[in-house]
Chain A
Amino acid sequence: MSMFKKFSKKQTAAATHDPATFDGEYVLNVENLNVRFETDDATVYAVNGIDLKLKKKQTLGLVGETGAGKTTTVLSLLNLVPDPPGVVSADRIEVNGREVTKMSAAELQTMRGKEISMIFQDPMTSLNPVMTVGDQIAESILLHENVDKKTAAKLAGDMLETVGIPAERGSEYPHQFSGGMKQRVVIAIALACHPNILIADEPTTALDVTIQAQVLELMNGLKEKYQTSMVMITHDLGIVAETCDEVAVMYAGRIVEKGTLEDVFRRTKHPYTEGLFNSLPKMNDRSSKLTPIPGLVPDPTVIPEGCAFAERCPYAKESCFTKHPENRWVSDTHMVVCDAYDDPDFHIKRGR
């Protein structure tokens, strides 16, 4: 337990920044984020020029396939991209108005958990197996709040109750909990110090549907209660429809379409987004054949000359292979990155 003391000393040294006093428009503001991984064999271009903004109390859904760069994007917000081999560069990565890349180790330590927290995909591996769940929640509280161990243990118990687990189970170890309960413990740890930004990386992928429904309901409730802004990473468009206000669709390290939930779901513009919707089995029409996106995600070690999706795109023109498409705002809230819209009469099939 001596490590707590060490950290709490550091904490007083670092300037404490209370997220509640932050009054800017965007709690997250990222401009031109690039992340690459330099290995002996090749350089992997994971994130290629992403802009992200998140308003207070909003939930942004980050959607895309495996390898699209969703997780790498959010890890760079917490300055958690492993370096080496990761190289992060950006014009701006601001959390509550402060630049993350300029923070000292101690400042980062205070920011993580107090201002911005992350829930990882796999609750089975993100908890410490040799520490009771109560201690794991208290660990975060001791680190950030100026309280003694007894109070921290009490607060940890309260937090367990908040996520629907009896406080007395705090003395148990993770293996004594089921998958859904472990994920609740992870949520309790993430929210223990009431951060104003929560990042959930596929929080329910490892869970069964009925348990998923429980956990999503819990997260929606807590989001309201603590007025948290959230980034929800998922590949499940159904979850996006149920939890998010805004959506950004990622492909090969870029955002190809973003807008409000209504923009992206009702007025879909990008051929890739359309492809994702077409790949889903339709719940009202059993006989319809699925239309998968042909081909595979491009090799991330090569930066394509033109649009990264061109090879799999049913609408691709010759110029798509040679010229990188530009960001195109179709309304104040809705952006699409596709040059097919050079032609004013162009439209995709969906919703027609």
Chain B
Amino acid sequence: MADVLLEVKDLKKYFKTRKGMLHAVDGVSFTIERGRTLGIVGESGCGKSTTGRSILRLIEPTSGTVLLEGKDITKLSKSEMRKMRQEMQIIFQDPFSSLDPRMTVNQLIREPIVLNNILTDKEAIDKRVLELMETVGLAERLYNAYPHELDGGRRQRIGIARALAVNPKFIVCDEPVSALDVSIQAQILNILKELQEKFGLTYIFITHDLSVVYYFADDIAVMYLGQLVEKAPADELFANPVHPYTQALLSAIPSTDLDNKTERIILKGEITSPINLPDACRFAKRCNYACEDCKCSDPKLVEISPGHFVACHHPLVQEA
């Protein structure tokens, strides 16, 4: 039996709006094994960030269970949850707005250690702050610097150090490199990979950048309008995508390879409103293969080959 760290079952998050119920996350289920990375990709508004936050209960899920090492965290009380957060952390997208501008690097990294009573001895805390700065590659001279003095890459390193400060097992990385230039993006991705190897961390890596997720994740889940439409190991998903949406998404990546120009699949229209959804395939309106079935029933996620799941009435399986 695989060593499952996190299991999410039928997670739902609905928001009440004036026009009706907004299905931000609608029945998402998956498991992640210890030390692995699950990439979640999809367009803006597909519910990938809401999924990440609901798992940590930064947003209360409407229903569903989240098991961390077999323990259902959705049933925990506030104080129990607070303790549990030491096990599970998040790194946010925007290093410009997720740090308090009036706190120095030292104070920012110290805060989670003190608040969670990880260490109480002042000297030990000082030592730990410096150690964390070194782990994420922040020079010691920046100890008293403020976030506005630093570039995006360094700010994101502070975000990582803050997450690591409580020795978590599991980190949700919510678009951690989207705001950064490519050369800096590579630095941060390398750090995250090194830390994973060093501390045996398990990641959920949320992004809209498919080339980054391919490089970074072991398994990839594709989301569309609050649902998982396809999930497979990274190589399998890129080599053999079977959901029409995944295929279109992959073909839309601009490639730097001048020799290998693949045919673009241009999708008609745009993502539909997630409010008051009918019982139909949510992608049907943009799908080139949609038929009557797709308009009257919502496909379920099924396993078509070991580890490869898809929710589609007409998966585009290549005949062997």
Binding site for B on A (CB under 8 A): 65-66, 178-181, 208-214, 216-217, 235-242, 261-262, 265-266, 275-283, 286, 289-293, 296-297
Contacts and interface: CB of A to CB of B under 8 A. Distances in A.
Contacts of A217: 264, 266
A286 B252 contact: no
Interface residues of B, dominant DSSP? helix
A299 to B, nearest CB: 11
Nearest to A216: B254
A238 B186 contact: no
Interface in B258-291: 258, 264, 266-267, 270-271
Interface residues of B, number: 39
A283 B214 contact: yes
B44 A208 contact: yes
B169 to A, nearest CB: 24
A178 B43 CA distance: 13
Given A214-B266, A276-B182, A292-B190, A239 B151 contact: no
Interface in B183-197: 183-187, 189-190, 193
B212 interface: yes
A289 B252 CA distance: 24
Nearest to A212: B252
- A179, A281, A282 interface centre (most CB from chain B within 10 Å): A281
| B182, B186, B216, B271 pick with most chain A CB within 10 angstroms | B182
Contacts of B181: 65-66, 235
Contacts of B214: 281, 283, 286
A265 B189 contact: no
A299 B274 CA distance: 46
Nearest to B185: A279
A281 B213 CA distance: 9
B257 interface: yes
Contacts of A286: 214-215, 234-235
B187 A292 contact: yes
Interface of B: 43-44, 151, 153, 181-187, 189-190, 193, 208, 210-212, 214-216, 234-235, 238, 248-249, 251-258, 264, 266-267, 270-271
Contact of A281 (B153, B211, B271): B211
13 contacts: A208-B43, A210-B248, A211-B270, A213-B267, A217-B266, A241-B257, A278-B186, A279-B185, A281-B215, A283-B214, A286-B214, A290-B215, A292-B184
Contacts of A281: 189, 211-212, 214-216
B200 to A, nearest CB: 19
Contact of B252 (A209, A282, A293): A209
Given A282-B215, A290-B186, A293-B183, A266 B258 contact: yes
Nearest to A285: B215
A283 B183 contact: no
Contacts of A291: 186
A213 B252 CA distance: 6
Contact of A179 (B44, B234, B238, B255): B44
Given A238-B256, A279-B183, A280-B256, 19 more contacts: A181-B270, A208-B44, A209-B43, A212-B252, A213-B251, A213-B267, A238-B253, A241-B255, A241-B256, A242-B255, A261-B258, A265-B256, A266-B258, A280-B186, A280-B211, A281-B212, A289-B190, A290-B186, A293-B183
A216 B264 CA distance: 11
Contacts of A241: 254-258
Contacts of A280: 182, 186, 211, 256
Contacts of A265: 256, 258
Given A210-B249, A213-B264, A286-B215, A292 B186 contact: yes
Contacts of B271: 178
